[in-house]
């Protein structure tokens, strides 16, 4: 007999799962690119209440926080267009927190955006690394 206060969890919707898989594919592509350009990946998907940092890396004594946006098709615009001031504010807040709990890391910090467009069969159409994005 079920306890009266238990409930079955909601099933994961297919669209949610597809978004997660698409985001992971984009982040995997971004990490491959960053490693090939001599970035040292410190962490992926760092989450706090302010927001999430997709990729945290080091290069040339700078701490770089990456926001990765991946899209299939142009129905919702280009991937970089979705990085608005609200999203950047969340990244800045989370990056400042990350630096606070890691004082041993370099003081020089920046936020970069990686925008990835995939075809419907998930072949790479475009890859755009936008360094040092500011509000």
| Each residue's pLDDT tens digit, 91-112 | 999 999 999 999 999 999 999 9
10 has a pLDDT exceeding 70: no
Distance of CA 27 to the CA centre of its chain: 7
Residue ranges and CATH numbers for the domains of the chain are: 14-130 (3.40.1350.10)
pLDDT band at 129 (very low <50, low <70, confident <90, very high): very high
Q: Cα(67)–Cα(56) distance, rounded to whole angstroms?
A: 9
Contact in structure between 66 and 34 (CB atoms under 8 Å): yes
So what's the pLDDT on residue 11? 54
Instruction: Determine whether 30 is exposed, middle or buried from the number of CB atoms within 10 Å of its CB (0-12, 13-18, 19+).
Output: buried
Please give the mean pLDDT across all residues of the chain: 88
So what's the pLDDT on residue 4? 56
Question: Over the stretch 42-82, which tens digit does the pLDDT of each residue have?
Answer: 999 999 988 999 999 999 999 999 999 999 977 778 899 98
Please state the rounded mean pLDDT for residues 3-18: 58
Q: Cα(92)–Cα(102) distance, rounded to whole angstroms?
A: 15
**Rounded alpha-carbon distances, angstroms, from residue 106 to 40, 118, 119:** 13, 34, 38
């Amino acid at each position: 007999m079920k306890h009266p206060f238990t409930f079955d969890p909601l099933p994961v919707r297919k669209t949610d799962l597809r978004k997660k898989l698409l985001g992971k594919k984009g982040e995997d592509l971004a990490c491959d690119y960053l490693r090939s350009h001599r970035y040292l990946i410190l962490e992926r998907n760092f989450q706090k209440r302010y927001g999430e940092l997709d990729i945290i890396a080091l290069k040339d004594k700078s701490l770089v926080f990456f926001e990765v946006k991946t899209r299939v098709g142009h129905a919702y615009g280009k991937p970089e267009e979705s990085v608005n001031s609200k999203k950047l504010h969340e990244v800045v807040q989370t990056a400042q927190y990350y630096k606070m709990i890691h004082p041993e890391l370099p003081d020089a910090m920046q936020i970069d955006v990686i925008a990835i467009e995939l075809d419907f069969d998930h072949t790479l159409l475009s890859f755009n690394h936008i360094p040092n994005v500011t509000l």
